[in-house]
Amino acid sequence: MTYQNINNGNNSGGILPFVNPSFDNSANLKLTEDQYEVYVNDNLVGHKTLKNQGEKLSDIDGFLHKQGLSDFTASLDGDHYRIQANDQDGDITNALSVYFNNR
C-alpha cells in the first residue's frame, strides 16, 4: 500500500487550510423564520411568520390602520404579539382573520 500525500506534493505537513464559511456579506442574512402568536385582548387570533428580512410585526399595525382601525395598542412579550383593543376588538379580530388567511 502506498501513501499519497493529500497535499499533492506540497510540503505543508499534511495540514488542511482553514476555510472561513462567512467570507461574504451573507452572514447578516436571516436564516430562519420567526413565528409569533398574535392575540387580541388575550384571545389567540393567529400566527405571524416573518419569512424575510423586510417583514416586521408592525406590518400588522399598518394593516389595521389601513382598515380604519386605530383604537388599539400593541406590545411584544416573547413570541406573543399582544394587541389591546378598546371598542374595536371584534372588528380587529375579524380583520386579522382575513389578514392571516390571505398570508
In order along its 103 residues, the chain shows pLDDT tens digits of: 555 555 555 555 666 665 555 555 555 555 577 899 999 999 999 999 998 888 899 999 999 999 999 999 999 999 999 999 988 999 999 999 999 988 6
Report the pLDDT value the prediction gives residue 51, as an integer from 0 to 100: 87
Report the pLDDT value the prediction gives residue 90, as an integer from 0 to 100: 94
Residues 6+ apart with CB under 8 A from 39: 45, 80, 81, 82, 83
Report the pLDDT value the prediction gives residue 68, as an integer from 0 to 100: 96
The grid coordinates of residue 20 equal: 472561513
